[in-house]
Structure 1
Amino acid sequence: MAVIFLGVRHHSPACARLVADTIHAVRPAYVLVEGPADMNHRMDELLLGHELPIAVHTGYRDHERRHSSWTPLCDYSPEWAALTAGREAGAELRFIDLPAWHPALAGLHNRYADAEARYNEATGRLCRAFAVDNVDALWDHLFEIEPADGLAERLATYFDLVRGDTETGPDDTAREAYMAQWVRAAAGEAGERPVVVVTGGFHRPALVRLAEQGERTWPEVPRPPEGATVGSYLVPYSFRRLDAFDGYQSGMPSPGYYQDLWEYGPDGAARRLTEAVTSRLRARRQPVSTADLIAARATADGIALMRGHPCPARVDVLDGLATALVGEAIETPLPWASRGPLQAGHHPVVVEMIAALSGDRKGRLHPSTPLPPLVHAVLAELGGPGDERLHLDEQAGRERSRFLHRLRVLGIPGVVRTSGPRPAGGTELVERWTLTETDDRLPALIEAGGYGVDPQEAAASVLAGRIRDADLDQLAGALFDAALCGIGELAGQVLDDLARAVVAAADLGSLGRTLTVTLAMWRHDDLFATRNSATLGAVVRAATLRALWLAEGVLGGPVPADPQRIGAMAAVRDALRHAGPPLGLDVDAALALADRVAACQDAPPDLRGASLGLGWSLRGAAAVDPVRAVRGAFVPASAGDWLAGLFALAREEVLQAGGMLELLDELVAAMGDHDFLVALPALRQAFGYFPPRERHLIATRLVELRSGASAWDLMRLEAAPELVAAGMALDERVDAALRREGLITP
């Protein structure tokens, strides 16, 4: 009995042809394939007649770990060729690798992730020897465009060379020992008929050695740990998700090109790639002439000849197209000269070339394919495309909102909220959503099915995963999402973590965002059913006290205004205003602290302004002399930053205080040209805290002070204010020079 080991590169047309030809020639008793052994009893489901690419998606969760992974297959995957050819030859089909949830694969999100990073030294030496840029070009050079004669021997030599004496880690060792046991058992059962083993080339040398010794009994399929939840389902996949230029970790980039290579051979693939690039460019109104195409093909043929290729390979065609279609100098290296996702900054023609290489094929499951319960639960309730307006003060509106928020948390495409409650601001009782049809929805729903059987359970699982190792901002976001999803038990867990995190918080901005979220939930019972919650109130109180303590410790000279720091002081103001007495907050002590910060010259200007605004907004105009306070604190060098803090916390008080706008106009007008130019960006930021209607009111009152011009016209100046100010400063310098030289009289 013979065991034929075929080491392959995943998603390789040359390897897929070799596998299919070998199986048809020897008609083995067993075909063993690197893949999840727990899918063996579902082999008929896998071979139903889907439109590839598809993938086996596995979701795993327990109280310590959550993991998702994919086993993708396309027409030219050697594993798929092994399954289909083996079924045609009447062989027994078996996946022989550990299940995707197994700890040995915990570090892999893709079973067919490229293993060649483990032997970069060997492949690097080969790339230098054959004068190619990277391992993808090396692979094409050695295997994809070369004649098929002797391919099995060349592959075996290649993988023996690149693995060499590499020491495998415990994960690969466990996988190879498990796969070898399947090989020994199949060999013992096959009698005189051969066994074909198809695995990644990295594993082949070890399996050849391990298959000669050890037990010949069929291995057991590992079972998940008690309390763990595991689900594996077929999902439609796409060429875009298979493409290394989009971040996929497989060995083969450009799946659209390799699909053509599989179907039409090297010459046909080169021709179709040129046609695809031309079509994409012309569709975007980029001129591509017949002469350009002739030049590209001639250049590609010449490059192929120079590189010793019997016909143009992928990089030959790409280099020819780039030479013919890109007329100017290219600042960044061409993306096919390296590996990994496409980076920003490439020429638009090059970007279109990469898109043409990728292709736009999307898989489709056979109608009889089992789907997880979550899919049925969502599709039964989701409804058709359109816009929805939900009234959150009605029970039906709240229930629909929670359902849609659960889908949003799960990342289901085509479910977008356009307006509704936000962590900051008052309660908003109307929510708007836009639902659209998308081909990506079904795969996303199937993959989300690994988190739970219904939207509530699945969303709770996702949010629980976000909580793990989350920082203060992420915890606050998870709390708000949990409330929007109506997942009360999770909110309780987040609150416990928040309470611990707040006590140790060191960043005022993050603490302020957390306070904003928790205060909104504590106040608004109609939305969250958490009004006056004792646990939530404890978090609000602790966050307020911690924020005040941090604010008094912030020191530093004039620095740009920090919107997050200012927002934290605004959150403190709202907590003192709306929750002070109920939560036992000492408002008088807080105001005394704000006075100290406002008067501290070592504190940043924006924090001093915000502290003044805090006291002004809580005490009211009757208890404050705003004109005296502003005149005493106004410093030209940091005026904009200081005003940003003041306006953010006391915007309404500034507008209502008599003579305040006139005072600010006086102070700004007294600034020298240089000081004004330096302060202008910060001044613009400060006045940005006023909404448009109030900015128009301010402009109207200031224009009335100075001239009869239209405030509306002033607000709609097309020139940037900085440019206008710079022009005025230049005019002043010119006038000064002319007066100095006696060319004009004062």
Structure 2
Amino acid sequence: MPVTFIGVRHHSPACARLTARTIDALQPAYVLIEGPADLNHRIDELLLGHELPVAVFSSYRDGERRHGSWAPFCAYSPEWVALTHGRTAGAELRFIDLPAWHPAFAGRSNRYADAELRYAEVMERLCREFDVDNVDVLWDHLFEIGADDDLFERLAAYFDLVRGTSAAGEQDTAREAYMASWVRAAAADAGDRPVVVVTGGFHRPALAAALDGPAAWPTVPALPEDAVGGSFLVPYSFRRLDAFDGYQSGMPSPGYYQELYDSGPDQAARHLIEQVAQRLRERRQPVSTADLIAARATADGLATIRGHDAPTRADVLDGLASALVTEALEVPLPWASRGMLRPGSHPVVVEMVAALSGARVGRLHPGTPAPPLVHDAGAELERSGLAGNADLDLDLLDPPDRERSRTLHRLRLLGVPGFRRDAGPATGVEPVLREQWALRPDAGRLTALIEAGAYGATLADACAGVLAERAATAGRDVDALAAVLFDAALSGTDDVSDQAMTDIEATVAAAADLGALGRMLAVVLTMWRHDRIFGTARSATLGVVINAAVRRILWLAEGVRGGPAPADLGRIAALAACRDALRYADRALSLDRAPALEIVTRVAADTGAPPDLRGAAFGFRWSLAPGLTEVEGEAAVDPMRAVRSAFVPGSAGDWLAGLFALAREEVLHTEPVLALLDELLSGMDPQEFLVALPGLRQAFEFFPPRERETIAGRLLARRGLGGSGRGLLRGAPDPAVVAAGLLLDARVEAALRREGLTGREEADT
């Protein structure tokens, strides 16, 4: 069985050249390629005549797992060269790997993940041996620069060393067993004709050792019955292909390697220097001809010292950095390690990396099939008049404008570029009735829509899928869940799946932050009660959230412990939102008041609870059931007794903050309570008043200016003084200054008495 195994590094120009030469020379019967076997019946679609780079995007979704991955191709990808040269040679083309949705690819967003990343120890030893910084520099040193005469043997020795004698992990073992079955079947069918197998070099030793065995054609795994998925071609870009931008495998700097593949190392080095100079000059950075000459001379010198026949990528970059960066660097040069560009990189270095990356963006052939979402979105944009370049001012109370707004928000939530909202409501309680949008054509729109097609066939379905996924990943982050609910309102997503509803309830039930729960409940309750902008009034989804939030807030409130401390406005607001839910939605949502009142009664009487929470709990009960005579054996509401017993100078302000936040109107319209507060505050000595003052000021801030004026007027009347409450408020100095003055007066008076210098003693003298 004449089988030739070519182990490659994905997106390597040297490996692409080797693949082309081997196929052209052997004219094989079969060319087998590492790639998703479920795409074999669509290989003609890959070869329609696209402008590279393009990628196969595969998606998978079931009740428990969602997976998306990409298999990108550019002109110098060995897999792409195997397809094109294999077709020219008349070979049968087959992808031989498991489908991208298979559990063997769990955790990978890219099919072509490098084996070197998993076998760092071997790579580190090789880098030390050859005195290079990282695997990318090592690869260029060994394979990309120089003659290709013995490249096949050198690659085989390299990948044998990388693989070593260690067994692959469970996932790779499953993949290799599947690929080996394709190899055996093709070899048996080809007879004496050659078979060429192109896979990642890590897999080559295992596949070469597995030629003996059954030779039946393997079946292609089918999607589970409860799963939805598929694969589509998408336009790709050099930026997405670049390791410096987060790409998980292959080579960094795709623009440089494209030039290397097309023109060779000398031309690639010259082009790189020119590109860097052009980018810097466009950004008004000074780059002289002398700088460029120095950069090229340094690169050539480094290549000679490092034993390269021509400058490598690292030689050119080091030369440019030496010539153009004159100050100390805060972070290491990015090509000295593998990974994304680090924050704090020198601006010149950033431009150098961008120049290497290139700006090429792929384009699909017009006859390329697309998922249903692409067609649905296009039709919706045309129908709504949103397909062009425009600046929109939408009236959210106008039904056609509101529908256009929902379409735009769905596109925004799906990550489709070219639709930017510049102004509009940020929460469900703002009185903002208009939105401003900027619509601009964007080359990435088709790619984003194809990838979003994994969520659903229509804009509405896909948007619901995205929101459900966000709800599932919210965990205990109530603010994240609130954002999901508001985005659902903006996009007109009224109904969510049972699973999404379960996830939403789970997030609320696990939340530990009373403040966050209160913020969310306040917004959700307002939207549920009377939202005519987004159409969420009486929404079933929001009703479930309100129910869950009320239960969780009451449960958390009863467990809070702590002594006197500054009032926590977040937890006070949470109780206020909970009270409002019981006040306005108890019947419609079957909220039970009695258990809630029992809980707040216990909290109000619990001396271990913080004062602000005790005050809020008492205000909760007073405002929700002012005429209640008894709650499970407890005494009727008695605000006078409650105020008197809670009035401890060090924490009075905190207790009152909770009370005023939840029972402000009750206090304002209960004259005896105001009279008692006046009595208690007036009876404080200056030291106590100064200590209590910050809390008291915060508490009285819950009264709006008109109500503070009413209170001031009543205080004047109690003292038989004329004038208006407004005048008293306007003319009053800073209370802190007044309190400090009173304290100083008291201390002076005490010192005079101690020394016998009061006014009475002076008169006797």
TM-score (norm 2): 0.80
1:407 aligns with 2:411: yes
Give the letter aligned to residue 452 of structure 2: A
- Identify if the C-alpha distance between structure 1 residues 545 and 368 changes in structure 2 by more than 3 Å, giving closer, same or farther: closer
CA contact (8 A) 2:256 2:356 kept: yes
CA contact (8 A) 2:428 2:527 kept: no
1:148 aligns with 2:148: yes
- C-alpha distance in structure 2 between counterparts of 1:558 and 1:219, whole Å: 72
1:478 aligns with 2:478: no
How far apart are 1:610 and its partner, in Å?
A: 4.8
Instruction: State the match for 1:235 in structure 2.
Output: 234
Give the letter aligned to residue 202 of structure 1: F
CA contact (8 A) 2:87 2:93 kept: yes
Residues 306-352 of structure 1, C-alpha deviations (whole Å, 9 max, x = no match): 11111111111111111111111112111111111111111111111
- Identify if the C-alpha distance between structure 1 residues 9 and 391 changes in structure 2 by more than 3 Å, giving closer, same or farther: same
Residues 361-389 of structure 1, C-alpha deviations (whole Å, 9 max, x = no match): 11111111111111111112212222333
Within 5 Å, which residues of 2 pair with 1:155-554? 155-210=155-210, 212-382=211-381, 383-426=387-430, 428-472=432-476, 473=478, 474-490=480-496, 494-499=500-505, 501-532=507-538, 536-537=542-543, 539-540=545-546, 543-544=549-550, 546-547=552-553, 550-551=556-557, 554=560
Within 5 Å, which residues of 2 pair with 1:559-574? 565=571, 568=574, 571-572=577-578
- Identify if the C-alpha distance between structure 1 residues 32 and 610 changes in structure 2 by more than 3 Å, giving closer, same or farther: farther
Mark the runs of 5 or more structure 2 residues left unpaired by the alignment.
Answer: 382-386, 605-611, 617-645, 713-724, 742-765
How far apart are 1:272 and its partner, in Å?
A: 1.0
How far apart are 1:200 and its partner, in Å?
A: 0.3
How far apart are 1:493 and its partner, in Å?
A: 5.6
CA contact (8 A) 1:30 1:94 kept: yes
Within 5 Å, which residues of 2 pair with 1:38-117? 38-117=38-117
Give the letter aligned to residue 66 of structure 1: R
- C-alpha distance in structure 2 between counterparts of 1:417 and 1:48, whole Å: 37
1:129 aligns with 2:129: yes
1:611 aligns with 2:615: no
- Identify if the C-alpha distance between structure 1 residues 503 and 36 changes in structure 2 by more than 3 Å, giving closer, same or farther: closer
**Pairwise CA RMSD:** 3.4
Instruction: State the match for 2:737 in structure 1.
Output: 669
Instruction: State the match for 2:14 in structure 1.
Output: 14
Give the letter aligned to residue 371 of structure 2: P
Residues 219-250 of structure 1, C-alpha deviations (whole Å, 9 max, x = no match): 11111111211121100001111111111101
- Identify if the C-alpha distance between structure 1 residues 613 and 226 changes in structure 2 by more than 3 Å, giving closer, same or farther: same
- C-alpha distance in structure 1 between counterparts of 2:691 and 2:244, whole Å: 49
- C-alpha distance in structure 1 between counterparts of 2:176 and 2:23, whole Å: 23
- Identify if the C-alpha distance between structure 1 residues 666 and 169 changes in structure 2 by more than 3 Å, giving closer, same or farther: same
Q: In terms of mean alpha carbon deviation, does 656-665 or 160-169 score higher? A: 656-665
How far apart are 1:616 and its partner, in Å?
A: 5.6
Report the 3-state secondary structure (helix = DSSP H, G, I; strand = E; otherwise coil) of the residue aligned with 2:59: strand
Report the 3-state secondary structure (helix = DSSP H, G, I; strand = E; otherwise coil) of the residue aligned with 2:453: helix
- C-alpha distance in structure 2 between counterparts of 1:336 and 1:297, whole Å: 18
- C-alpha distance in structure 1 between counterparts of 2:287 and 2:576, whole Å: 57
Give the letter aligned to residue 423 of structure 1: T
How far apart are 1:600 and its partner, in Å?
A: 8.6
Give the letter aligned to residue 509 of structure 1: G
Instruction: State the match for 2:627 in structure 1.
Output: none
Give the letter aligned to residue 364 of structure 2: L
- C-alpha distance in structure 2 between counterparts of 1:635 and 1:312, whole Å: 79
- C-alpha distance in structure 2 between counterparts of 1:287 and 1:259, whole Å: 28
- C-alpha distance in structure 1 between counterparts of 2:657 and 2:328, whole Å: 52
Q: Pick the aligned partner of 2:614 from 596, 616, 626.
A: 596
- C-alpha distance in structure 1 between counterparts of 2:570 and 2:91, whole Å: 65
Report the 3-state secondary structure (helix = DSSP H, G, I; strand = E; otherwise coil) of the residue aligned with 1:506: coil
How far apart are 1:403 and its partner, in Å?
A: 2.2
- C-alpha distance in structure 2 between counterparts of 1:602 and 1:332, whole Å: 55
CA contact (8 A) 1:607 1:642 kept: yes
How far apart are 1:41 and its partner, in Å?
A: 1.0
How far apart are 1:182 and its partner, in Å?
A: 1.0
How far apart are 1:55 and its partner, in Å?
A: 0.2
Within 5 Å, which residues of 2 pair with 1:602-681? 610-615=657-662, 617-619=664-666, 621-623=668-670, 625=674, 628=678, 647=701, 653=707, 658=712, 665-669=733-737
- C-alpha distance in structure 1 between counterparts of 2:702 and 2:258, whole Å: 58
How far apart are 1:63 and its partner, in Å?
A: 1.6
CA contact (8 A) 2:651 2:692 kept: no
How far apart are 1:401 and its partner, in Å?
A: 2.8
- Identify if the C-alpha distance between structure 1 residues 132 and 399 changes in structure 2 by more than 3 Å, giving closer, same or farther: same
How far apart are 1:584 and its partner, in Å?
A: 6.0
Give the letter aligned to residue 408 of structure 2: L
Which of the two has higher C-alpha Rg?
A: 2
- C-alpha distance in structure 2 between counterparts of 1:156 and 1:601, whole Å: 83
Give the letter aligned to residue 438 of structure 1: D
Report the 3-state secondary structure (helix = DSSP H, G, I; strand = E; otherwise coil) of the residue aligned with 1:388: strand
How far apart are 1:636 and its partner, in Å?
A: 6.7
CA contact (8 A) 1:288 1:325 kept: yes
How far apart are 1:2 and its partner, in Å?
A: 1.4
- C-alpha distance in structure 2 between counterparts of 1:54 and 1:630, whole Å: 75
Give the letter aligned to residue 614 of structure 1: A
Q: In terms of mean alpha carbon deviation, does 158-167 or 391-400 score higher? A: 391-400
- C-alpha distance in structure 1 between counterparts of 2:164 and 2:94, whole Å: 28
- Identify if the C-alpha distance between structure 1 residues 534 and 323 changes in structure 2 by more than 3 Å, giving closer, same or farther: closer
CA contact (8 A) 2:565 2:651 kept: yes
CA contact (8 A) 1:558 1:605 kept: no
- Identify if the C-alpha distance between structure 1 residues 452 and 544 changes in structure 2 by more than 3 Å, giving closer, same or farther: closer
CA contact (8 A) 2:409 2:490 kept: yes
How far apart are 1:432 and its partner, in Å?
A: 3.3
- Identify if the C-alpha distance between structure 1 residues 616 and 634 changes in structure 2 by more than 3 Å, giving closer, same or farther: farther
Residues 489-508 of structure 1, C-alpha deviations (whole Å, 9 max, x = no match): 30776555444554554221
- C-alpha distance in structure 2 between counterparts of 1:226 and 1:581, whole Å: 42
- Identify if the C-alpha distance between structure 1 residues 184 and 509 changes in structure 2 by more than 3 Å, giving closer, same or farther: same
How far apart are 1:612 and its partner, in Å?
A: 4.5
How far apart are 1:444 and its partner, in Å?
A: 0.1
Report the 3-state secondary structure (helix = DSSP H, G, I; strand = E; otherwise coil) of the residue aligned with 1:450: coil
- C-alpha distance in structure 2 between counterparts of 1:160 and 1:114, whole Å: 15
Instruction: State the match for 1:707 in structure 2.
Output: none
CA contact (8 A) 2:566 2:654 kept: no
Give the letter aligned to residue 248 of structure 2: Q
CA contact (8 A) 1:608 1:642 kept: no
Residues 472-519 of structure 1, C-alpha deviations (whole Å, 9 max, x = no match): 523333333333333333077655544455455422122123313321
How far apart are 1:104 and its partner, in Å?
A: 1.1
